[in-house]
A and B are shown apart, each in its own frame.
Chain A
Amino acid sequence: MENFFFWTFVLTMIGSGIGVIANKNPVASAMNLVLMIISIAGLFVLLGAYFLAAVQVLVYAGAVMVLFLFIIMLLDLKAEQQANFRMLGIIGGLLTVLLLGIGFFLAGKNITSLVGKMGIVIQNNSIKALGELLFGNYALAFEAVGVLLLISMIGVIILSKKDLD
């Protein structure tokens, strides 16, 4: 049963991933991306990381992608639909996929050690454990993320506001 779900999610993920780059219509690309994010969430569920799965759907599929679609529809990207794929881009992309694929394949041979270590992490993967890590062990990194968010907020205001003084 788990195997069946795993392969369903993985194949949906790869298929919709290809859909994102192969579609010329930006809205269709975005919808494919939503599908991909949901299948990643499915993989998280299979791993027992329920909180991550929920956040994945809420934040990415819910908030970020809605914003994406909103902007795509506002921009009315007609020119994008007529643009052709460049040969160089396709070759470069395929080459990258090939190289990364070889790398991941070689890495995947040692997958047993990966699973062993991941198991330990997942056992603690309740929201409580996550919160304890964020505010305990990684408190400094958490504060730094706060500064990072502040910077991006200032940036958005600067770059989008018309009458900056």
Chain B
Amino acid sequence: MNALFVLCSPECFLTLSALFLLLWQAIAKPNYKSVGILVLASYLISGVLLLPFVDNQGIYWNGLYVWDKMAVLWKVFFLITGFLVTYLSLESNSLITKGRAEFYTLPLLTTAGMALLASVRDFILLFVGLEIVTVSFYILVAFQKEFPSALEAGVKYLVIGALASSFLVMGIAFVFGITGSTQFDEVARFAQNNPVSTPLVLGLIFVLVGLGFKASAVPFHVWTPDVYQGASTPITSYLAVGSKAAGFVVLLRVLNLPFYDQSFQKHWIPLIVLMALLSVILGNLAAIPQRNIKRMLGYSSISHGGFLLMGLSAHNTIGCAAVIYYFFAYLVAIFAAFLVVILLEKNQPSGISIKDFNGLYQKNGLLAWSMAFAMISLAGLPPLMGFFGKLMVFLAAWESGQHLLVIVGALCAAAGLYYYIGVVRAMFWAEPETVQRIVLSPATKVLLWILSIGSILLGFYAEPVIKLVGAVLS
């Protein structure tokens, strides 16, 4: 492990650039917009710095940190997420009035924490990384402290998040107490050579509870709708994609190494199946009556968590590849949807309901089409990316024998069509109250085009992408 490698890893580079930007804005008091642009640049540079180390492979830092293809893939995912979040924050700058520079800089540290989680190989580092992500989200959620709804969301997230963290720590303590180690390989080795005892299973359950909170899986979902609605829109998109992905990358790591042993699998597979089942049912059904778009997307994110858990329950390579592909589809669709929401919010800061999408097609065609593609992709209709994500998750779960889960999942996905198509219907067939053209900046136009075309192209050419992901995993 050389110094260059450490410096170029996203976690280190992003932390350093965040430190630099914090000091710079404290001393030189620059224009907040230039801070935002520098944050965007840091994500890009960090992505470029990754390139020489793509083929690296190994376990570093005394077994705490692993660098493999999957870690690189997730780091890229988190860098894209961070980049888009900052772009959305810049786009919605009229809504955040105070401390804007910090509002752009904090996500750098959050993304660093997520990148750290992508290559975690020890329970201690797992906990610290997850806390970095969660604590920075407490702050980001409550950032618009002049709105009571944001403060309420922040407090709710803090209380439930702290409870989830305590479960996670308790679980880790049990695992450590029995196996005598927090390192993933050591735990896996212990499980191979010794019978799995009750305390170890209790540890596993507690760890799943803690991670279920991050993945907002039912029954650990109660915070989701309120927090999604109360937080400012860029942060909601960050929660929906980044925070959920952080939970799932840890689940992928934990379930595929320390808890991979057969004797563990017979305990966690039923739990994951149960969580997936409840999430798809509750998420899809509860989203139907929602009128506020952010709340609706909150419930939709619960249901997507369920579909992703379905991929995990398959406990094979196809399932894991499906989860990763699904996440990229989800990222593209969610950011397109939230970018549209932010652009609409500019005229109506009090919050956007489905009604406000009425006749969007007449106001701006590109916005309406982007939102339509996002909704259709989230609903899982062919030929968009979301369809292939769902298809693969279903296939993986079916192959591993979870037939009931797949049938319920397919039915719930069909029920979910109703509320996604409701938005599309409002945009194209409902009459608007006022026809006022919405003007977009060139950069936003380009981004909307990229997201829309991406979700179509990667849907049509899903096969090479899935093969690539599969190659990464094997």
Contact = CB atoms under 8 A, between A and B. Distances in A.
B459 to A, nearest CB: 37
A137 interface: yes
Given A137-B62, A148-B131, A164 B199 contact: no
A130 to B, nearest CB: 13
A109 B199 CA distance: 9
Chain A contact surface mostly: helix
B: interface residue count bin: 35 or more
Nearest to B122: A141
A153 to B, nearest CB: 10
Contacts of B202: 103-104, 106-107
Q: Which of A118, A120, A151, A155 has the most C-beta atoms of chain B within 10 angstroms of its own C-beta?
A: A151
A152 B134 CA distance: 11
Interface string A137-149: 1111100110110
A147 B64 contact: no
Contacts of A148: 128, 131-132, 135
Contact of A151 (B29, B98, B136): B136
A144 B198 contact: no
Given A151-B135, A154-B22, A154-B106, A144 B199 contact: no
B98 A109 contact: no
A92 interface: no
A144 B139 contact: no
A144 B131 CA distance: 10
A138 B125 CA distance: 8
Residue from B15, B64, B136, B199 whose CB has the most chain A CB atoms within 10 Å: B199
Contacts of A113: 178, 197, 199
B113 interface: yes
A159 B158 CA distance: 13
Interface of A: 103-104, 106-110, 113-114, 117-118, 120-121, 136-141, 144-145, 147-148, 150-152, 154-155, 158-159, 164-165
Interface of B: 15, 19, 22, 29, 61-62, 64-65, 98-99, 102, 106, 109, 112-113, 116, 122, 124-125, 128-129, 131-132, 135-136, 138-139, 142-143, 145, 174, 177-180, 197-199, 202, 205
